[in-house]
Amino acid sequence: MIPFSPPRIDDRTVKAVEEALRSGWITTGPRTKEFERRLAAYCGVDRVIALNSWTNACELVLRWFGIGPGDEVIVPAYTYCATANIVMHVGAKPVLVDVLDDFTMDPEAVRRAIGPRTKCIMPVDIGGLPARVPEIMRIAEECSPLFTPAVNLRVAGTNPQMRLGRALVMSDAAHSFGARIADKAVGAQADITGFSFHAVKNLTTAEGGALAFNLPAPFDHEELYRHFNTMSLHGQSKDALAKTQPGAWRYDVAFPGWKCNMTDLQAAIGLVELDRYDNDTLVRRRAICERYDRAFSADSRFIIPTFRDAKRTSSFHLYMLRVREASEAQRDAIITAIAQREVSVNVHFIPLPLLSFYKGQGYQMSDHPNTFAQYSREISLPVYYDLTDAQVDEVVAAVKAAVDEVMGPA
């Protein structure tokens, strides 16, 4: 059976974790701090904070920005539920918008959705392809006259909504670490970018996430880092590493925070992955996707995914193939037929309005026709470092045979 996306775990990974275990630092410590520094350098930003998941990292952002009941956050209808779940966690309302044919948020749909209650816009990078973040940033600026900040909000002595003066743009880059926009690494475009390092991601720490800060003046990124570090540790003023300094045991609790710090065990894996990311991991993932492209591009039954355009380059996280004329039921039957040929595939994602909870909140799939059109014929094929060329060819043969079986020969 060809699996879908196993993590890359080799002797180098095991050795790094063993060294972390033997060092005595298994919670947040020197490896986590080094991982943060190297992530910031990679993304071209002043500061990155590493946390225990994308979900908790990005929920902290909404809470820091003072988003809550009565507020709205614009998200694409085509995304994993985590994007909208964190909006629900803080009591705000997700406002869903449709996507373009490349699966990413439609900027003009965002413009139409912005209103006085809009506090945040969350573009989502799908399959590794960045959303049109610079366009969405520009729209947020142009629509700033509509922005109504909370006047009584105070975070560490400031009101971030009044300081920014417009909707916050927080990019969901869970799929796109290493992707580029206008030849700059993802992380340096939105106000804040959230990454995921879950086990299936290109760069993994087993579980984990990070925030890259890119807010304009007068925001101070060092101050933001300290505040989010405190937020992630129950509001405690010192982390475990800081308390090891001579006589530094005393701490304070500034506010009732959360618990979502990254550990050195996770960071040890991340440091290995980051060291070989551009020159090894991305090279192999690109080669796999290009091999799929050559196999499917000449067959009119298929629509191959977008990995590059004039301004964007993907991180090659997923190969999101579409069967051009397939209905949703046919797509599902094709997936079953592929599985019978011992190949694991997936679908990214079930749109939010089709999920029971969001359907129950009144969201309707008919309001987002292009989201459904892309989802209903999409099949994600295996892409992972150890996938061989021969296995890629097996996947291609299984997909084509399954389509022949369900829809008839080409």
Asked whether residue 6 is domain-assigned, the answer is no
Residues 242 and 299 in one domain: no
Residues 21 and 154 in one domain: yes
| Distance between CA atoms of residues 380 and 348, nearest Å | 7
Asked whether residue 307 is domain-assigned, the answer is yes
% residues pLDDT > 90 (the chain)? 93
CA 6 to chain CA centroid, Å, is 18
Residue 236 per-residue DSSP state: B
Beta bridge partners of 303: 322
pLDDT over 90 at 251, yes or no:
no
Q: What does 89-109 look like in DSSP terms, one character per residue?
A: HTT-EEEEE-B-TTSSB-HHH
Residue that is last in its domain, among 246, 274, 302: 274
Q: Which two tokens stand for residue 206?
A: 């087993």
Distance set, CA 259 to CA 20, 238, 256 (Å): 21, 13, 10
Q: How confident is the model at residue 357 (pLDDT cuts 50, 70, 90)?
A: very high
Find the helix packing angle between 264-275 and 30-43, rounded to 10°. 40
Residue that is last in its domain, among 274, 299, 326: 274
Asked whether residue 213 is domain-assigned, the answer is yes
- Please name the residues in contact with 254: beta carbons below 8 A apart, sequence gap of 6 or more: 156, 230, 235, 237
Find the helix packing angle between 54-64 and 81-89, rounded to 10°. 40
| Distance between CA atoms of residues 264 and 17, nearest Å | 9
Asked whether residue 93 is domain-assigned, the answer is yes
Give the chain's largest Cα–Cα span: 75
Q: What pLDDT sits at residue 202?
A: 98
Asked whether residue 3 is domain-assigned, the answer is no
Asked whether residue 5 is domain-assigned, the answer is no
Q: What pLDDT sits at residue 229?
A: 96
Asked whether residue 25 is domain-assigned, the answer is yes
| Distance between CA atoms of residues 272 and 35, nearest Å | 10
CATH code (residue 305): 3.90.1150.10
Work out the burial of residue 84: count CB atoms within 10 Å of its CB; fewer than 13 is exposed, 13-18 middle, 19 or more buried: buried
Q: What is the mean pLDDT of the chain?
A: 96
Sheet strands (E) in 6-106: 47-51, 72-76, 93-97
pLDDT over 80 at 243, yes or no:
no
Work out the burial of residue 135: count CB atoms within 10 Å of its CB; fewer than 13 is exposed, 13-18 middle, 19 or more buried: middle
Residues 259 and 159 in one domain: yes
Residues 250 and 323 in one domain: no
Q: What pLDDT sits at residue 240?
A: 77
pLDDT tens string 136-188? 999 999 999 999 999 888 887 789 999 999 999 999 999 999 999 999 999 99
pLDDT tens string 189-229? 999 999 999 999 999 999 999 999 999 999 999 999 999 99
Mean pLDDT of 304-320: 98
Residues 370 and 243 in one domain: no
Residues 169 and 255 in one domain: yes
CATH code (residue 129): 3.40.640.10
| Other C-beta atoms lying within 10 Å of the C-beta of residue 158 | 15
Enclosing domain of residue 358: 277-407
Sheet strands (E) in 311-352: 312-313, 319-323
Asked whether residue 23 is domain-assigned, the answer is yes
pLDDT over 90 at 315, yes or no:
yes
Question: Whole-angstrom distance between the N-terminal and C-terminal Cα of the chain?
Answer: 26
pLDDT tens string 99-142? 999 999 999 999 999 999 999 999 999 999 999 999 999 999 99
Number of domains comprising the chain: 2
| Distance between CA atoms of residues 92 and 148, nearest Å | 15
Residue 281 per-residue DSSP state: I
pLDDT tens string 34-52? 999 999 999 999 999 999 9
Residues 202 and 225 in one domain: yes
Residues 70 and 16 in one domain: yes
Residue that is last in its domain, among 228, 246, 274: 274
pLDDT over 90 at 339, yes or no:
yes
